[in-house]
């Protein structure tokens, strides 16, 4: 419980600070991209620790399952609720109660702020995948808080 | 293990980002003070959760013991190694292996960077104490990495 709270509070502080620095309406993209980059580096670091004693992954789907189960549980204390794929490099990871959104009230009035609360995690996933050798683009969307979908598009070399 | 890593990586990212924003030699103080403020707010939030089901504290020393044991263990996965007081409102908390310094190599060559790595935690302690009703000034010093002393000066009303 303590750890979750620490991460959540720290995450909020970062958003607030970065948002204050990269301020202005038109700069919203810069704030999101800074947060995404931070997540990327943290994801890279974390996956190294997590996979230290893990057997080699069989294939891309195996990697994704690891992200949805072990990785997600370590960071967010729950698994991804649903993983879908078109078997052509697109994966959709659905979290029905995404921890970093539970502080925002449900409903539509805060939807515009959602990208800031998701950017770090998009980077986290992209960084983790990148260190396992899977290059990707990760985006996120929210339709009803606090449920959230992360879409991973694997970039073929 | 995962949680510790997450906190450590996130903490590093914050230092790097804040340091980049509040850059310049003369601005070092501003960087430290931003980090301290972030820690303050996080400490305020954390202590609320931690003390939810705790019996009322007997006195100031009781509060300090709580910080050294329960609070420190939750955040840093170990207790403070030594607590001293002059019984006049000054407390020295010594951590012989402070987790947020273990990434820096031992020795004296990085000592000048230590304040940036301690500022968040100084704020964390100040924020936690402040929400229990103990107003204080918290400073830190390192003589040999990664050992570290936090000095709490309680401000009498």
The DSSP annotation for chain B comes to: -HHHHHHHHHHHHHHHHHHHHT-SGGGHHHHHHHHHHHHHHHHHHHHHHHTTTPPPP-SHHHHHHHIIIIIHHHHHSS--SEEEE-SSSEEEEEETT-GGGTTSPSSSTTGGGHHHHHHHHHHHHHHHHHHTT--EEEEEE-SSTT-EEEEEEE---
The DSSP bridge pattern shows strands A136-141 and A148-154 to be: antiparallel
Nearest CA in chain B to A7: B7
**Above 70 in pLDDT, residue B42?**
yes
Could you tell me the CATH number of the domain that includes residue A134? 3.30.1380.20
Residues of B in contact with A45 (CB under 8 A): 5, 9
Of A156, A19, A2, A127, the C-alpha closest to B54 is A2
What's the domain count of chain B? 1
Residue B152 CA: distances (Å) to CA of A87, B76, B95, B112: 58, 18, 14, 21
| Average of per-residue pLDDT across A55-64 | 94
Please state whether B6 falls in left (phi above 0), alpha (psi between -120 and 50) or beta: alpha
Q: Which residues of A touch B103 (CB under 8 A)?
A: none
Lowest-confidence region among A26-40, A77-91, B60-74: A26-40
Which are the contacts of A118, defined by CB distance < 8 A and separation ≥ 6? A98, A100, A101, A140, A142, A148, A150
When pLDDT is averaged across residues A73-87 and rounded to a whole number, the result is 95
pTM score, whole prediction = 0.90
A6–B38 CB contact, under 8 Å = no
Rounded Cα gap, residues A2 and B46, in angstroms: 7
Find the range with the poorest average confidence among A80-84, A135-139, A151-155, B23-27.
B23-27
Tell me how many degrees the CA angle B68-B70-B76 measures, rounded to the nearest 5.
75
Q: How far is A19 from chain B (nearest CA, A)?
A: 12
The shortest C-alpha distance from A76 to chain B (Å) reads 10
> Which among A150, A6, A140 has a CA at the least distance from the CA of A71?
A150
Number of neighbouring beta carbons within 10 Å of residue A104: 16
Mean pLDDT across A119-141: 96
CB B9 within 8 A of CB A42: yes
- For chain A, what is the mean pLDDT? 90
**A94: exposed, middle or buried (Cβ count in 10 Å: 0-12, 13-18, 19+):** middle
Q: Residues of B88-123 as b/e, b for ≥16 C-beta within 10 angstroms?
A: eeebebbbeebbbbeebeeeeeeeeebbbbbbbbbb
Residues of A in contact with B14 (CB under 8 A): 10, 13-14, 17
Nearest-angstrom CA–CA distance, B113 and B133 = 31
Q: Is A94 helix (H, G, I), strand (E, B) or coil?
A: strand
pLDDT band at residue A33, thresholds of 50, 70 and 90?
Answer: very high
Mean pLDDT computed over B72-84: 95
Is A17's CB within 8 Å of B34's CB? yes
Q: Is A13 on the interface with B (CB under 8 A)?
A: yes
Quote ipTM for the complex. 0.88
Please name the residue of chain B whose CA is at the shortest distance from the CA of residue A12: B42
Which of B14, B6, B11, B38 has its CA nearest to residue A34? B14
Chain B CB contacts of A21 below 8 Å = 21
Residue ranges making up the domain that contains A40: 4-20+27-154
């Amino acid at each position: 419980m303590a750890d979750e709270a620490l991460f959540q509070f720290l995450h909020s502080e970062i958003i607030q600070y970065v948002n204050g620095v990269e301020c202005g309406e038109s700069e919203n993209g810069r704030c999101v991209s800074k947060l995404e980059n931070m997540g990327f580096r943290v994801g890279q670091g974390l996956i190294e620790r997590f996979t230290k004693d893990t057997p080699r992954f069989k294939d891309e789907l195996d990697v994704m399952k690891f992200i949805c189960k072990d990785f997600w549980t370590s960071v967010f204390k729950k698994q991804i609720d649903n993983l879908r794929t078109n078997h052509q490099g697109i994966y959709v990871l659905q979290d029905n109660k995404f921890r970093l959104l539970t502080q925002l009230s449900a409903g539509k009035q805060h939807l515009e702020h959602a990208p800031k609360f998701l950017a770090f995690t998009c980077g986290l996933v992209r960084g983790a995948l990148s260190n396992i050798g899977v290059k990707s683009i990760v985006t996120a969307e929210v339709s009803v808080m606090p449920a959230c979908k992360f879409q991973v598009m694997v970039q073929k070399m």
